[in-house]
Amino acid sequence: MHISEQLSDDFKTALKSGDKNKLSILRMVKAAVKNREIEKSSPLDDEEIYGILRSFVKRAHESIEQFSKAGRQELADKEKEELAIIQNYLPRQLGETEIGKIVEDVIGEIGATGPKDIGRVMKAVMSKTKGLADGKIVNELVKQTLERINAA
């Protein structure tokens, strides 16, 4: 089942069951997808829809951080609920161990020797993980691994 079909089916289910929170979130996602389709003048493929979902996830993480800093826990909790619903539609993210293995493989492949190679390594790792890894985690692991190699 394509992600667009799953979103539509879940939207109908939420509408019938009266789940206002999920319905609101799915309505927002469907509107973003529709707007992007209008811009593009053609239907979106799954990867493009995942890109839209990832942008919602990123925004939710930023909002949670800001609301927590401001002491607005009720708003942070609402964003966490929204985040959980949206993440159900994304493929499983790679864990730090899996990302670390990919980072080490890439470093070996391109012959990176230190922090000056961060850009090349990041580009290669991000192309291999294709949206399955958080860029911040990848960046941290690349920095740590290259510093460790440079220190040795």
* Sequential pLDDT tens for the chain (152 residues): 688 899 999 999 999 999 899 999 999 999 999 999 999 999 888 888 988 998 998 899 999 999 999 999 999 999 999 999 998 998 888 888 888 888 888 888 888 777 788 888 888 888 888 778 878 888 888 888 888 877 76
For the chain, residues classed under CATH 1.10.10.410 are 96-151
Q: What is the pLDDT of residue 94?
A: 82
pLDDT of residue 77: 92
Residue range(s) occupied by CATH 1.10.1510.10 in the chain: 3-87
With 0-12 / 13-18 / 19 or more C-beta atoms within 10 angstroms meaning exposed / middle / buried, residue 75 is middle
CATH classification (class only), 3-87: mainly alpha
Neighbours of 99 (CB within 10 A): 22
Contact 75, 60 (CB under 8 A): no
CATH class of domain segment(s) 96-151: mainly alpha
pLDDT of residue 145: 85
CB 112: neighbour CB atoms within 10 A? Answer: 22
Q: How far apart are CA 36 and CA 38, in angstroms?
A: 5
